[in-house]
Amino acid sequence: MRRVGVEHAIFFGSRERGDERPHSDLNLVLLDDRFEGQALGRLLQELQSKWKSDVHLELLPCSPEQFSEMQEWNALAREAARRGLSIHIDLSEEEQPA
């Protein structure tokens, strides 16, 4: 999340529930005001190029306001809001070496 500059995400879907299969993707809603009004295709390319993962990502970048509105018509957004794991990180903290 630090690589893409996002402090708040919601982890949801089969990997969050623990019933994933070997090729299941990782579902994340990335919430940030700067995503408001950006073209989704271009934004996804940029985010996925910065995100280093061996697992296929299904990212939904949107502003918190867009996400709230999306829950009215999008079943995946409702699932993420209702059952997902909310993740918050402090971007001002430096990453500690492992």
What are the domain boundaries of the chain? 8-17+25-88
Neighbour-count burial for 22-35, b at 16+ CB within 10 Å, e otherwise: eeeebbbbbbbeeb
Mean pLDDT, to the nearest integer, of 10-37? 88
pLDDT exceeds 90 at position 80: yes
Q: Strands 57-62 and 26-31, how do they pair?
A: parallel
Per-residue pLDDT reduced to its tens digit, 24-44: 888 899 999 999 988 888 888
* Cβ(10)–Cβ(80) below 8 Å: yes
The sheet carrying 85-88 orders its strands as 57-62, 26-31, 8-12, 85-88
Q: Strands 8-12 and 26-31, how do they pair?
A: antiparallel
Neighbour-count burial for 71-81, b at 16+ CB within 10 Å, e otherwise: beeeebbebbb
**pTM for the whole structure:** 0.83
